[in-house]
A and B are shown apart, each in its own frame.
Chain A
Amino acid sequence: MTAATLVHVVVSGLATGSIYALMALSLVIIYNATRTLNFAQGEMLMVSTFIGWAAHRAFELPLGVTLVVAVVAAAAMGWLVERAIIRRAIGATHWDVLIITLGLSLMLRAGAGLAWTHDDFPFPSFFDSRPVALGPVRLAPVSIGIVGASLALMAALYALFTWTRLGRAMRAVAQNQRAARLMGISVERVYSSSWVLAAMVGAVAGVLVAPVVFLSSKMGLVVINGFTAAVIGGFGSMPGAVLGGMLLGVIENLAPLYLPSGIRYSVPFLVLIAILLVRPAGLLGRVEQRKV
C-alpha cells in the first residue's frame, strides 16, 4: 500500500467520522441538558432528510434551500417531540424516557416507510464524488466537502456555546441544573432549545451523508455509530464527541485494508472495549465523583 492510498483512505475515514461526530454531538447536546439518551436521534435525522428531499422533488428546489427545509423541519420536530412527549413524562425515570425515545424511533421509522417506502433513493450532493488528483494523491471532493462543512458547523456550535446567552445557559444547566435555575435560567427553555439544536445538527448530518449512503428509512441506524463515538470520546464532552467520531470513522475505513474480512465489522467495537478498559470514562471524559 502506498502513502497516497493511505491518505485517500484516511480522508474518506474523516468524512465518515465527521458524520459520526455530528451524530455524537447531537446526542451529547440533549444528554447534557436533560440526562436523556435520545434513541430517536437517528430517525429524526432520517425523517428530516426525507422531508427536505420530498420538498426538493415537489418544488424542484435548489440544494441549498433543500438543506434549509430539512433543518427547519428538524427544528420543528425536535421542538414538538420535547414539548408534546418528553416534557409530559414528569414522574418518569431516565430508563422510562429511554423507552419513550425508543418507541418514537420505531414510530418514525415505520412512518417514513409508509410515507416513502423502505427503498433506497439517490440524493443530490453539494459535492462531486469523482476523485480528483492532487499530485500523487487522489481525493474525492465529497469527502473534503463533508469534512469542511462539518468543521464549519462545529465551529458555529463552539461559538454558540461560548459566546451566546443561550449557549452559556445550556452549559450552566449541564453543570448544575438547580444552581442554573436559581440563577434565573429557564431550564425548560434550555430543554426545548437542546432538542431543537440537536435535531438541526442531525438534519445537516443527514443532508451531508444521504448522497453517500443513499436516502432510506434505515439511515437512522447511524445513531449507533454516533453513540459509540460519543462514548469513545467521553459521554458529555463535545470535543470528545468530535474526537471519538473522527477516530471511529478512520478506524472503520482502515480496518478492511489490514484485517481479514471476518472481523472487520467487529473492529470499531473491539477498539471501543479496549479504550474503555484503559479509560473507563472515554478519552476526554472525567470519572464523575459522586457526593453522598
Chain B
Amino acid sequence: MRARGLAVAALVTALAVWPWVAPRYFVFLASVILVNVIVALGLNLLSGYTNQLSFGHAGFFAIGAYTAAVLTLRAPATPVVVTLALAGALTAAVGLAFGVPCLRLGGLYLTMATLAFGFVITEAILNLDALTNGADGLRVPAARLGGVALSTDAGRYYLTAAVAAVMVTAAVNLVRTRTGRAFLAIRESEIAAQASGVPVAAYKTLAFGLSAFYTGVAGGLFAFVVGFLSPDAFDVFLSVDFVVMIIVGGLGSVPGSIIGATVVTLLHDGLAAFQNYRPLIFGAILVACMLFMPGGVTQALGRAARR
C-alpha cells in the first residue's frame, strides 16, 4: 500500500512539474494523452465492466467537443468548469437515450448499433451548419476560468490534468461503491448477477450514461486543447483507436485504461515520422502485442510481477 502511495505521489509531482521541464510540443502531447485517458476510462466502464463493446465513442466524443465549442462561442463568459459539466451532461443524456433501446442488443449487434451511431453523429455534425459550421470546421476560443483566459499550452495542460485527476479518482472509487460492485458482478457473469438480485438492465443503462459523460467531458477538453474542430476528426477510425486503447491496456481496469491510452497516443505520435510505414508498424505492434500479451499490457505486467 505504501509503495502505491509513493507511486501516486510521484506521478502527481511529475504531472505538476511537466510544463516547466518539457518543451511546448510535449506539453500539448501530454494534454492529448490525458484527454484520451479520460475517454479510455469511460469506454472501459462500458466495455470492460458491462461487456458492451462500443465502436461509436468518437460520436460521444464529438458531441462533447462541439457542445463545449458552441457554448464558448455563444457565451464566452461561461466558466470552463460549467462548460465541461454541460458537455458531459448533454453527452450523457444522448448516451442514455441511445443506451436504453440498446439494452436488448447483445454482443456484435450492440457493436454494430454503436458503429452506426458514430456515423449518424458525424453526418449530423456535417449538416448542422448553423451550429457547427459543417465541413469548414470550427475554431474554438480559449477557455475562461474566473476571468482568466487559458490561452497557453501550459494553461490548457493544467486544466486537462486537473479534470483527468478528478475523473481517475472518481473511477477508482466507483469500483468500491455499490454501483461499482454491481458493474464487477455484471462483468463476471450477467446471469449470476441477475440471479443475485442485481438489476442488470438499470446498471447497464447507468454504465452507458456514465461512459458517455466521461467521453463528453473529454471531448470538451479536446476542443480546448486542439483549438479547432472538424467533423472528419471524429470518424470511425477514432472510435476504433479508443477500443484499441482499452484492449491493449486491459479491459475492466483503471490502470489498464491509463496505460492503454498513453501507449496508443505515444505510438501514433512517435510513428508519425515513418509516414507511409506508420500503419504498417502500428499494425504489426498491435498483432505482436496481442499475441505475446493476451489480455493486454496490465495483465502481462501483473503476471510478470507475480513471477
State the A residues within 8 Å of B (CB).
37, 85, 88-89, 91-93, 95-100, 102-111, 113-114, 224, 227-228, 231, 235, 262-263, 265-266, 268-270, 272-273, 276-277, 280-282, 288, 290, 292
Contacts and interface: CB of A to CB of B under 8 A. Distances in A.
Of B112, B120, B236, B251, chain A has the most CB atoms within 10 Å of the CB of: B112
Nearest to B240: A102
Contact of B290 (A92, A107, A108): A92
Contacts of A288: 106
Contacts of A111: 280
Nearest to A96: B290
Given A95-B53, A265-B123, A106 B294 contact: no
Interface of B: 53, 101, 104-106, 108-109, 112-113, 115-117, 119-120, 123-124, 126-127, 191-192, 195, 236, 240, 243-244, 247-248, 251, 276-280, 282-287, 289-291, 294-296
B116 A281 contact: no
A268 B123 CA distance: 12
A231 B290 contact: no
Nearest to B189: A292
Given A96-B295, A100-B287, A224-B115, 6 more contacts: A104-B287, A107-B284, A227-B112, A228-B115, A269-B116, A273-B116
A113 B126 CA distance: 29
A224 B104 CA distance: 22
Contacts of B117: 269, 273
A99 B279 CA distance: 14
A266 B126 CA distance: 11
B127 to A, nearest CB: 4
Given A92-B290, A99-B247, A106-B286, A263 B109 contact: no
Given A92-B290, A110-B276, A227-B112, A276 B105 contact: yes
A235 B251 CA distance: 24
A113 B113 CA distance: 31
Given A102-B240, A103-B286, A277-B101, A95 B247 contact: yes
A110 B247 contact: no
B142 to A, nearest CB: 32
A269 B120 contact: yes
B113 to A, nearest CB: 6
Contact of A280 (B53, B104, B192, B276): B104
Nearest to B112: A231
Contacts of A91: 294-295
Contacts of B248: 99
Contacts of A272: 112-113, 116
A147 to B, nearest CB: 25
